[in-house]
Amino acid sequence: MALADSDRLFGPADDVPIALDAGAWLLPGWAAGQAQRWVGCVQEVLAQAPWRTMRTPGGLPMSVAMSHCGRWGWVSDASGYAYSATDPHSGRPWPAMPEWLWEQARAAATVAGYPHFAPDSCLINRYVAGAKMSLHRDADESDTRAPIVSISLGLAATFLWGGLERSDRVRRMQLEHGDVLVWGGATRLAYHGISPLKDAVHPLLGSERWNLTFRMAKAPYGCSP
């Protein structure tokens, strides 16, 4: 999010989460210092599961390209949305989640007050100019007591943040390179989306924005490591 350093009570390197709402926390720029390593991990995954665009159940191609790692990958096709243990493109299991990614997601969740976060799914989204994500809820996970941890890399985007009803007022906020957000509690089932990405150039990712979302797709929250 666009916070000037002078607006921060603590420097960006501190593990001090900012409360956005009940259960929702922002760690501004938390991933920026090791962005190279995040990118390297994503590239490792992409070598096994390349970017692809899926179709909505209605048959429209999505503008966001996706890949996955971890045990479960989110898939969308004519039969609906589901978590799948295999990549429909290769027929093989999804690439394993690099251990470093798992640890980072877990550390971010712990800082935000969710110490039992043990993600079994990581969705990787790629936005190019014009790509967007319409207002939706993430409700395909089996235990929504677990938060979702999201990491933004590359170009900044306008995040649309609504309420529990589709008709609720929508707030806008900028998600910047390195921002980490933890969505739990009452916000876990809030409507949200991304405005069409503006054309620009980022030093690390060029004309792209990547977003990683770590989830507990199937595991119950609270009894894991």
Radius of gyration of the chain (CA): 16
Of the candidates 152, 139, 108, 129, the one whose C-alpha atom is nearest the C-alpha of residue 18 is 108
Q: Are 158 and 195 in contact (CB under 8 A)?
A: yes
Question: How far apart are alpha carbons 193 and 131 in whole angstroms?
Answer: 11
Residue 133 near ligand MD3 by CB under 6 A: yes
Q: How far is C-alpha 60 from the geometric centre of its chain's CA atoms? A: 22
Q: Which of residues 177-216 bind ligand MD3 (CB under 6 A)?
A: 181, 183, 187-188, 190, 192, 194, 211, 213
> Which of residues 104 and 211 has its CB atom nearest to Fe ion in the complex?
211
Q: Which of residues 121-160 bind Fe ion (CB under 5 A)?
A: 138
Minimum distance between the CB of residue 6 and ligand MD3, rounded to whole angstroms?
26
DSSP state of 109: H
> Which of residues 120 and 138 has its CB atom nearest to Fe ion in the complex?
138
> Which of residues 90 and 195 has its CB atom nearest to ligand MD3 in the complex?
195
Q: Shortest Cβ contact with Fe ion: which residue?
A: 138
Q: Shortest Cβ contact with ligand MD3: which residue?
A: 211
Task: Candidates 87, 120, 138, 141: give the one binding ligand MD3 (CB under 6 A).
Answer: 138
Q: Which of residues 93-132 bind ligand MD3 (CB under 6 A)?
A: 123, 125
Question: How far apart are alpha carbons 19 and 16 in whole angstroms?
Answer: 10
Question: What residues contact 77, with CB distance under 8 A and at least 6 apart?
Answer: 54, 55, 57, 88
Minimum distance between the CB of residue 44 and ligand MD3, rounded to whole angstroms?
20
Q: Would you state the structure tokens that stand for residue 217, as one six-digit string?
A: 């797709």
Question: Which phi and psi angles does 126 have, rounded to 5°?
Answer: -120, 125
Minimum distance between the CB of residue 149 and ligand MD3, rounded to whole angstroms?
9
> Which of residues 181 and 216 has its CB atom nearest to ligand MD3 in the complex?
181
Q: Which residues bind Fe ion (CB under 5 A)?
A: 138
